[in-house]
């Protein structure tokens, strides 16, 4: 039988080719379908649990998101979660597109999803995210970092639940600072003086490395500078543009001055995003670096870094009279507003955001918890000692402008701020951007 059908496929004449190919395809199709059918049967026998789907960008460390989802499936019998994996967060545009395409169909799939913190307002504004105020009590909400929780709200409603947090932070060279007996800077002024001193003494080629490439990271740096001067980009209503106010103008002027006036940052930062700004730091040329938490493990790996054991991390400096601000990154959970299994979806999302699961994500995937309490656990201290020290950094986490039109606002900001840090006409660039952003958010 097998011999004959093989003969048919390989040595077919013109008249039998159709039959040969069709029967081959049918056999192949049946072979492929069998496990799927068997699987369905075995699931049905288990007492038909509620089926929900979960879409997330791809994260991995020692384990994957899929393995964490399996933990949930094995822990109980009422809900069965199917995991649908999107591209990794480095392909943010593709993840965004994938989610928008799925959610815009409004067919309830996926029931639960993960989203970059800057999309929360957009998805809530479109009516795709379920408000979770009824199921998350005020006491439960108070267990998260306030900055992260604030970023999960849109129009006063909680439309997302925190997953993990990352934010901007200040990396510094412990050895250089102690040699010159300089304290870790708490204000931008102190940082400027310290950086200039170290450069003058020939200890560091670059005083302060940050990111001014016309890209999303420029907006993250911008938020940190402006918020640490008590300013903002959008008012709390999401409609008033406060970008051309005094605190913002002063902050952007300082961004330009680090390059042009104080010369603690090379002109190259205008073309640097995360990695180009990180490389000279781990190469030993930089005294201070603003970057995300991913830099630390790289800086402690002797294969990639010449500053192993010499790196300290602190909250970013602030302007006189301001408070340290760290731009909030990270992905958060959402529940699809058109889910057909609301209770199951809520149960699953609360499990995902629970202290225990957050600890798993922290120890197994290296994702920092969004609950301060989890930071104090002994297990985290053992598995991720560095992560534990970041608690004070994340306390100052500040959201980027909260508006459903964020991606358009961000593009307008990138263009304007890139101009400002290039030619120094700060007030003009910010006033132009203000007009543009006003027309975007009011439309």
Partner 1 sequence: MTTAMAAVRQSYRDDKRQKAIRQAGRVGRLNPLLFLAPAGLALLAVSVFPVFDGLWLSMHNTLLSAQRSDFIGLGNYWQLVGDDQFWSAWQHTLVFTAVSTIAETLIGLAMALVLHETFSGRGMVRAAMLIPWAIPTVVTSKMFGWLFDGQHGIVNWLLVQTHILSGPANWYGSTDTAFWTIVIADVWKTAPFMALLLLAGLQTVPGALIEASRMDGAGALQTFFYIRLPLLLPTLMIAGMFRALDAFRIFDLVYVLTGGGPADSTEVLSTLTYKTLFSALDFGYGSALSVAMFATEALVAFGFGLFIMRGMRRANG
Q: How far is the CB of 266 from partner 1 (least distance, A)?
A: 7
Please report whether residue 272 would count as binding partner 1 according to CB under 8 A. Answer: yes
Q: Does 422 bind partner 1 (CB under 8 A)?
A: yes
The minimum distance between CB 305 and partner 1, in angstroms, equals 16
Q: Does 266 engage in binding with partner 1 (CB under 8 A)?
A: yes
- One character per residue 89-128, x = contact with partner 1 (rule: CB under 8 A): ----x--xx--x---x-----------------xx-xxx-
Site for partner 1 in 65-94 (CB under 8 A): 93
Segment 274-313, which members bind partner 1 (CB under 8 A)?
Answer: 280
Query: DSSP readout, 378-392?
Result: HHHHHH-HHHHTTHH
Binding mask 203-232 for partner 1 (x = CB under 8 A): ---------xxxx-----------------
In angstroms, give the least distance from the CB of 18 to partner 1: 20
For residues 96 and 290, which CB has a smaller minimum distance to partner 1 in the complex?
A: 96
Pairing of strands 161-162, 331-335: antiparallel
Among positions 400-419, residues that touch partner 1 (CB under 8 A) are 404-405, 407-408, 411, 414-415, 418-419
Asked whether position 155 contacts partner 1 by CB under 8 A, the answer is no
Nearer to partner 1, 136 or 241 (CB): 241
User: Considering only residues 270, 310, 350, 391, which one is a binding residue for partner 1 as defined by CB under 8 A?
Assistant: 270
Nearer to partner 1, 127 or 146 (CB): 127
Q: Residue 1 Cβ, how far from partner 1 at the closest point, in Å? A: 38
Rule CB under 8 A: choose which of 219, 269, 387, 399 binds partner 1: 269
Stretch of residues binding partner 1 (CB under 8 A), selected from 3-11, 59-67, 261-269, 289-297: 261-269
Chain positions contacting partner 1, by CB under 8 A: 93, 96-97, 100, 104, 122-123, 125-127, 212-215, 266-272, 280, 404-405, 407-408, 411, 414-415, 418-419, 421-423
């Amino acid at each position: 039988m097998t011999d004959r059908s093989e003969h048919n496929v390989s040595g077919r004449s013109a008249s039998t080719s159709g039959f040969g190919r069709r029967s081959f395809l049918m056999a192949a199709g049946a072979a492929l379908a069998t496990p799927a059918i068997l699987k369905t049967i075995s699931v049905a026998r288990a007492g038909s649990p509620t089926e929900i789907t979960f879409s997330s960008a791809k994260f991995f460390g020692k384990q994957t998101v899929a393995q964490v989802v399996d933990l949930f499936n094995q822990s109980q019998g009422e809900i069965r979660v199917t995991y649908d994996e999107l591209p990794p967060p480095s392909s943010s545009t593709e993840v965004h597109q994938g989610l928008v395409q799925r959610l815009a169909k409004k067919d309830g799939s996926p029931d639960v999803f993960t989203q970059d913190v800057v999309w929360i307002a957009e998805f809530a504004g479109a009516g795709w995210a379920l408000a979770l105020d009824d199921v998350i009590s005020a006491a439960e909400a108070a267990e998260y970092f306030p900055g992260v929780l604030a970023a999960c709200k849109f129009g006063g409603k909680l439309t997302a639940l925190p997953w993990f947090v990352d934010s901007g932070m200040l990396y510094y060279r412990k050895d250089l600072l102690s040699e010159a007996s300089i304290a870790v800077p708490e204000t931008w002024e102190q940082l400027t003086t310290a950086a200039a001193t170290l450069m003058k003494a020939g200890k560091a080629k670059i005083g302060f490395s940050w990111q001014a490439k016309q890209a999303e990271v420029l907006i993250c740096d911008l938020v940190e500078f402006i918020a640490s001067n008590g300013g903002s980009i959008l008012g709390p209503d999401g409609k008033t543009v406060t970008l051309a106010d005094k605190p913002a103008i002063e902050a952007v002027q300082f961004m330009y001055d680090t390059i042009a006036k104080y010369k603690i940052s090379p002109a190259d930062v205008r073309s640097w995003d995360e990695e180009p700004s990180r490389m000279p730091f781990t190469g030993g040329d930089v005294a201070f670096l603003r970057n995300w938490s991913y830099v630390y493990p790289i800086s402690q790996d002797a294969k990639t870094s010449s500053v192993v054991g010499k790196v300290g991390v602190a909250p970013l400096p602030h302007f006189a009279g301001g408070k340290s601000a760290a731009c909030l990154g990270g992905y958060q959970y959402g529940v699809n507003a058109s889910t057909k299994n609301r209770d199951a979806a809520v149960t699953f999302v609360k499990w995902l955001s629970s202290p225990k699961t957050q600890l798993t994500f922290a120890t197994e995937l290296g994702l920092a918890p969004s609950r301060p309490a989890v930071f104090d656990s002994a297990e985290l201290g053992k598995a991720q000692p560095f992560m534990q020290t970041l608690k004070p950094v994340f306390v100052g986490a500040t959201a980027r402008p909260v508006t459903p039109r964020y991606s358009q606002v961000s593009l307008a900001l990138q263009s304007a701020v890139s101009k400002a840090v290039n030619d120094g006409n700060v007030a003009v660039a910010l006033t132009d951007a203000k007009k543009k952003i006003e027309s975007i958010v009011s439309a």
